[in-house]
Amino acid sequence: MFSLRQAKAYTIRLPDPLDEVFSGLDRARVFDGSADRVRLGNLADSCIGHGKLDFTKSGRGLRTVQWQVSIMPKPTRLMFAEMNREELRAIAPETLVVLPIGATEQHGPHLPTGTDWFTVDHLAIEAARRAAEEVSIIVAPALPFGSSDHHLIYGGTLSLSTQTYYLVLKELLQSLARDGFTRAFLVNGHGGNHELMQLAGRDVALNSALRVGAGSYWNIAWDALIADGAHKECRLPGHAGIFETSMMMALKGDLVPSARPRRDGTFETDARSFHAPYRHEKPGFWSSIDGYTDSPDRARAAFGERWREVIIEALAKTFVEFTK
């Protein structure tokens, strides 16, 4: 048994049934291969092939190739909501569905309430666009609501309870499984959703054929953000502070006022991990910080542009890794 990378120098002849389906196309070239995924000649732009190669030697030292392969169409669009049911059914078995989840909640006196889902939706779409060069991937509509009860004290918040939000995520994933998809990835943009999306993903995968990934974008990009210095003078990711305000200035600058809250002091995040050894919930914490962290007046659009690129690249790599 040889890997497809080892087989690039060989001519591959596909089984006869494919001649009827893809007559007239170049079926003898193999390129951009991996252990279980190849793109086939002129089919590369519209299909993905999966199969295994068996090599046998003849008496004259030539090799005969036997390949059992299935050819699946690639998505013609990036967005789930722009495709019809027949298109989605055709790509479901081999396509990763990315589901961005955010929140609509107060973000201090200066940022729009849609900050979390504006941000995660943009990051997920751009990362999927990049990953689509290597894998079959689409993006579902972002969920703009989250588990945000801790922000209700300020108003400007639409929240789902812990139990309700868990069920919403679970049932959306179950819907994808019933649609025929075998891979889904929840990308989170709100801290209050983190544990619930992980639980929903675990429970769905236990009782279906759907493989589920779940991660908050700042965790996925953590090492790259630290390497870029995003943790210095900043709570990472914080809430409506330097980090999120910089991201919004880069993405939707017209929604961010020039006059923003200021706090004195220095602010830095432990570079080792977003997660402390244990969780410590303090009654009254959110009311004590006026609904935002560090000093938003120090945010800069240039920071957001730089961090945006870092995060998109990390997400794209994660989507490819998870799919393969």
Q: Are 29 and 106 found together in one domain?
A: no
Residue 72 pLDDT = 61
Residue 42 pLDDT = 41
Residue 47 pLDDT = 56
Question: How far apart, in whole angstroms, are the C-alpha atoms of residue 143 and residue 196?
Answer: 14
Q: Are 58 and 101 found together in one domain?
A: no
Q: Are 239 and 266 found together in one domain?
A: yes
Q: Is the model's pLDDT at 31 over the cut of 60?
A: no
Evaluate whether residue 10 is within a structural domain. no
Cis? peptide before 237, omega within 30° of 0: yes
Q: Are 268 and 122 found together in one domain?
A: yes
Average pLDDT score over residue span 218-246? 95
Contact 115, 148 (CB under 8 A): no
Evaluate whether residue 9 is within a structural domain. no
Q: Are 260 and 129 found together in one domain?
A: yes
CATH number where 206 lies: 3.40.50.10310
Q: Are 193 and 293 found together in one domain?
A: yes
Total number of domains in the chain: 2
In terms of DSSP bridges, do strands 63-73 and 47-57 run parallel, antiparallel, or are they unpaired? Answer: antiparallel
The confidence band for 162, taking pLDDT boundaries of 50, 70 and 90, is: very high
**Domain residue limits at 33:** 16-73
Evaluate whether residue 293 is within a structural domain. yes
Domain final position from 28, 43, 73 = 73
pLDDT digits (tens, 9 = 90+) for 37-67: 334 444 444 555 544 444 444 445 444 444 4
**Region of poorest pLDDT, from 19-33, 39-53, 299-313:** 19-33
Q: Is the model's pLDDT at 7 over the cut of 60?
A: no
Nearest to 107 by CA among 308, 293, 299: 293
Q: How many CB atoms lie within 10 A of CB 15?
A: 11
Q: Are 67 and 85 found together in one domain?
A: no
Average pLDDT score over residue span 152-169? 98
Residue 276 pLDDT = 77
Q: Are 278 and 150 found together in one domain?
A: yes
Residue 17 pLDDT = 42
Evaluate whether residue 315 is within a structural domain. yes
Q: Are 166 and 69 found together in one domain?
A: no
Please give the residue that has the higher pLDDT: either 29 or 184.
184
Question: How far apart, in whole angstroms, are the C-alpha atoms of residue 240 and residue 77?
Answer: 33
The confidence band for 270, taking pLDDT boundaries of 50, 70 and 90, is: confident
Domain final position from 27, 52, 73 = 73
Report helix angle 242-252 to 301-323, nearest 10: 90
Q: Is the model's pLDDT at 71 over the cut of 90?
A: no
Sequence-distant (6+) residues with CB within 8 A of 11 are 28, 65
Sequence-distant (6+) residues with CB within 8 A of 157 are 104, 105, 106, 113, 148, 151
pLDDT digits (tens, 9 = 90+) for 76-87: 899 999 999 999
pLDDT digits (tens, 9 = 90+) for 271-286: 887 777 888 889 999 9
Q: Is the model's pLDDT at 262 over the cut of 50?
A: yes
Average pLDDT score over residue span 88-116? 97
Ordered alpha helix ranges (H), 48-160: 85-91, 115-131
Dihedral angle computed from the Cα positions of residues 111, 113, 118 and 120, in that order, rounded to the nearest 10 degrees: 100
Average pLDDT score over residue span 304-313? 98
Domain final position from 73, 89, 117 = 73
Evaluate whether residue 8 is within a structural domain. no
Residue 12 pLDDT = 41
The confidence band for 206, taking pLDDT boundaries of 50, 70 and 90, is: very high
Evaluate whether residue 7 is within a structural domain. no
Residue type, 199: L
Q: Are 41 and 85 found together in one domain?
A: no
Residue 84 phi, psi dihedral angles, 5° rounding: -90, 175
Average pLDDT score over residue span 18-23? 39
Evaluate whether residue 4 is within a structural domain. no
Q: Are 157 and 62 found together in one domain?
A: no
In terms of DSSP bridges, do strands 30-31 and 39-40 run parallel, antiparallel, or are they unpaired? Answer: antiparallel
Q: Are 57 and 150 found together in one domain?
A: no
Nearest to 323 by CA among 141, 95, 71: 95
CA angle 284, 115, 321 (to 5 degrees): 105
Evaluate whether residue 247 is within a structural domain. yes
